[in-house]
A and B are shown apart, each in its own frame.
Chain A
Amino acid sequence: MIQEEEKSPMKFQRRTVLKLSAAALAAPAIIPGRLAANDPIIFGAVAPKTGPLAGGAAVTHWPNLQLWQTQVNAAGGIMVDGNAHPVEIIEYDDQTNPGETIRGVQRLATQDNAHFIITPYGTGLHIAAAPIFDRYGYPQVCVTAITDQGSELAGQFPNMFFTLGATTPFAGDVIRVLTAMRDAGQIGNRLAMVNVADAFGIELMAAGMPLAEAAGFELVYETSYPLGTQDLAPVINGVKDAAPDAFVAWSYPPDTFGLTEQAMIAGLEVGAYYTAVATSFPGFNARFEGAANNILGAGGVNPDLPSFQEYEAAHIEVTGQAPDYWASATTYGSLQVLQQSIEAVGLDREAVSAHIKEADFDTVLGPMHFRDNNFNQAYWTVGQWQDGVFRGVASQNRDGVAAARLKEGWA
């Protein structure tokens, strides 16, 4: 394994040298790092098109790359040294396999000579790819990576930036929303909490349980289920028997749907119902319609923000599907961050990373900066379907928070 890792970059480098010398012979004017007028800027992208995370990436990740490329190129391209350069994106499928993610990034860096590489999809794949982004000196503006290890990672990989938030504030805000509902007399004290047995669910469960207990909630049911479980009747029946006032599931896409359908069928009576990833997908509301009303979920946006509305309309027009109401806009925002830094300092990747660390960015989500330890400190944490719109009901430093509503029945 180690041998192979040491060997392959050498091989790639040799090929790169060959390729570069061939290119130099053919077009002696090319200087690495410099573009002729109208030459495209090459962006690499590695993310799941197949495998367990493909469904999520097809909603949140890939359409935004397409939208951003279309919009930037329609506007003429990215301005570097007074010339507009179109964006070209090279896409690889990592099959939701960290080994493939690493190989893809390596290939983009050494064979495709990508100027920049767009971050992968999913917490695990982000972390797997971080060392290789670092080795080749690419800035990595992460989106779908939610972890409390962010500051350690940023310390180890100084060009790694986080946009979507960290585990503890994420779990903390859910508990905060529930506490507010309890203190307002809307719900009681009994809480059921379940999680999908995957890095994301385990971390959130570990963060959420002590926070719930500290907030004075009584944990009446707590369990985990394996990733990919589609039959969630036993879990919901267990929850129902424990008669909780609030239900929280740190769940991933297929089980988010499965839990909710089962809760609907079993007639789970809770005043607050929360499922995590995919609750904010437009498909969730389309599937459950009225039953989705007042369901809490991970993420959220401010749907009244004009920049978001404009983004949403463009997303539907270009990709033929609506964005999700959480990480979609953040994915687009991460590309805006890259673009704005490139326009500010050019194609030098080190300069771009240094710029991202210091600058203020204007994104579809509103302003963003990474001066606090490479962390964007303004993000949405909890949203709720309210009459067909997924509204943010809790956030870290974002405006436009709506009040959370009581879940009343499944009709």
Chain B
Amino acid sequence: MDILITGLLLGGTYALIAMGLNLQYGIARIMNLANGEILVAGGFAAFWMYTAGQTSPYLTIFVLAPVAFAVNWLIYVVMLRPLVKRAKSRGQLEVDAILSTFGLSFVGVGLMLAAFGGDYFNYSYLATPVTIFGDNFGLNRIASFIAAAILCAALYLWLNRSRAGMSIRAIAVSPESARLVGIDVARLSAFAFALGGAVTAVGGALLSAYLTLDASTGVIFTLKALIIVIMGGVGDVRGTIVAALLLGVIETLVASLIDPGLTLAAAYALFILILLFRPRGLFGRGAA
């Protein structure tokens, strides 16, 4: 039982890491390799607010989200829109986006290094035990799991129930046809990218309550997010959630029952299996 709960909590963490990238890649079609840096920057904002004014990360996110939204919107409009305009095919856009956001990730690391130095930033928030079925779990992990659940539910409802959400899903399926039915693809793509960035930064702020970050840890999160998004199916919120939880539970199972040294192997084995049997991810749509 404790394995299952530990795994689900870890899955919640993974969902926070991957949800933003899913929006950016699935809808705005930008494979954002600087995703991890946005996450770390969000974590730093929470750390800074906490150490400067004892502000809870759960309050910081309400300031952080609009700021991160604006920053990511700017990144998209200034840096990525020219690429979108220039690209003749989706493949070309992917290559261009990967190269330019890869560069952006170095810029991000450099900026954070210059701004906060290379030291670890960590603090303790809500590191109090909560007993569930006789085992202790960290309140900060449970709280971020709940936040992840709320965030995912809100995104899912919004994407599936609102008009804007429907337009965004239309873009994810076919940007060309979406334009034909009067959807402002350029504007909504920028919106989806900015929203993805805001979600990632919020995720970073929540994670920073229990993970130890420094200016150059972003790439670890980018890689994890990439695996989860591809496993779950690009552009599908449900897929990301299921993949994140699955990965969390399997890693914890392997670590607890076999050996903690094999968690990475288990994660990549799962990745390979899913790619072999469902090449477009768990919730991926049939062949394009």
| A contacts, CB < 8 Å to B | 48-52, 54-55, 57-59, 62, 197, 223-226, 228-231, 233-235, 237-238, 253-254, 257-258, 261-262, 264-267, 278, 281, 283, 286-289, 321
Contacts and interface: CB of A to CB of B under 8 A. Distances in A.
Contacts of A287: 122-124
B86 to A, nearest CB: 31
Which of under 10, 10 to 19, 20 to 34, or 35 or more describes the interface residues of B? 35 or more
A226 B210 CA distance: 18
Given A231-B251, A261-B210, 6 more contacts: A59-B119, A226-B264, A231-B6, A233-B137, A238-B256, A267-B136
Interface in B246-265: 251-252, 255-256, 259-261, 263-264
B113 A50 contact: yes
A223 B257 CA distance: 12
Contacts of B3: 234
A54 B215 contact: yes
Contacts of B214: 54-55, 58
B127 A265 contact: yes
B212 A253 contact: yes
Interface string B124-147: 100111000001111000000000
Contact of A57 (B6, B118, B210, B211): B118
B180 interface: no
Contacts of A278: 120
Nearest to B220: A228
Interface of B: 2-3, 6, 9-10, 13, 109, 113, 117-120, 122-124, 127-129, 135-138, 210-212, 214-217, 220, 251-252, 255-256, 259-261, 263-264
A50 B120 contact: no
B2 A50 contact: no
A258 B138 CA distance: 12
Contacts of A264: 127, 129
Given A231-B10, A261-B138, A266-B129, A225 B212 contact: no
A261 B256 contact: no
The dominant DSSP class at the A interface is: helix
A49 B120 contact: no
Given A55-B118, A261-B210, A288-B124, A237 B2 contact: yes
A237 B129 contact: no
Contacts of A55: 118-120, 212, 214
19 contacts: A54-B216, A223-B259, A223-B261, A224-B261, A226-B260, A226-B261, A226-B263, A230-B212, A233-B10, A233-B252, A234-B255, A253-B212, A257-B212, A258-B212, A261-B124, A261-B210, A264-B127, A286-B123, A289-B124
Contact of B216 (A50, A231, A238, A261): A50
A266 B127 CA distance: 10
A58 B117 contact: yes
Given A49-B118, A254-B212, A234 B127 contact: no
A262 B113 contact: no
Contacts of B211: 230, 254, 258
Contacts of B260: 223-226, 229, 234-235, 238
Contacts of B2: 237
A283 B10 CA distance: 25
Nearest to B211: A230
Nearest to A194: B260
Contacts of A50: 109, 113, 118, 215-216
A58 B118 contact: yes
B110 to A, nearest CB: 8
A342 B119 CA distance: 31
Contacts of A226: 260-261, 263-264
Among B119, B123, B137, residue most surrounded by chain A Cβ atoms (within 10 Å): B119
Contacts of A289: 124
A265 B137 contact: yes
A92 to B, nearest CB: 14
Contacts of B220: 228
Contact of A253 (B117, B120, B215, B255): B120
B16 to A, nearest CB: 13
Contacts of B259: 223-224
A234 B113 contact: no
Nearest to A256: B212
Nearest to A228: B220
B120 A237 contact: no
Nearest to A223: B260
A57 B119 CA distance: 8
9 nearest CB pairs, A to B: A58-B118, A234-B255, A225-B260, A55-B214, A55-B120, A50-B216, A54-B118, A58-B119, A265-B138
Contacts of A229: 260, 263
A283 B259 CA distance: 30
A56 B118 CA distance: 8
B6 A265 contact: no
A289 B123 CA distance: 10
Nearest to A59: B119
Contacts of A231: 6, 10, 13, 251-252
A262 B9 CA distance: 13
A234 B129 contact: no
A265 B10 contact: no
Given A54-B215, A234-B6, A237-B256, A265 B136 contact: yes
Nearest to B264: A226
Nearest to A56: B120
A254 B120 contact: yes
B119 A283 contact: yes
B34 to A, nearest CB: 14
Contacts of A230: 211-212
Nearest to B255: A234
Contact of A267 (B6, B129, B215): B129
A283 B122 contact: yes
B261 A225 contact: yes
Among B109, B214, B259, residue most surrounded by chain A Cβ atoms (within 10 Å): B214
Contact of B263 (A62, A225, A321): A225
